[in-house]
Amino acid sequence: MSTPSEDFALLIPAANAVEAKLSKELLESHGIPVLLHGMDRDMAELGASGNMEASHPDVYVPVAALKEAVKVLSETWENFDHPSLHAE
């Protein structure tokens, strides 16, 4: 599987589909672009809900927006964690 360009930073690895969608909508509402990237699964016969249940996309944001994205999610989600929150 390929990875996004050097311009994007990993925010949430292997998010469940609901977490990925919620984070995308929340961050985009704050003007932060989001890229969901994961394995392509051919599950058309299961419909959108079946595909969402099986997919666990990584959530990426532009490197320049990573700090703001971490701030938005850590202020909004009670249990959000990111390595940058523990950096000294």
Does 27 reside within a domain? yes
pLDDT of residue 45: 59
Question: Does residue 57 have a pLDDT over 90?
Answer: no
Assigned token pair, 42: 């051919």
CB neighbourhood size of 11 (10 A): 23
pTM listed for this prediction: 0.76
Here the CATH number for the domain that contains residue 54 is 3.30.70
Angle value at C-alpha 79, between 85 and 8, nearest 5 degrees: 50
- Average pLDDT on 48-65 reads 77
13-54: pLDDT as tens digits: 877 888 888 999 999 999 999 998 876 555 555 555 555 566
Segments forming the whole domain that contains residue 62: 8-85
Number of domains in the chain: 1
Distance CA(88)–CA(84), nearest Å, equals 9
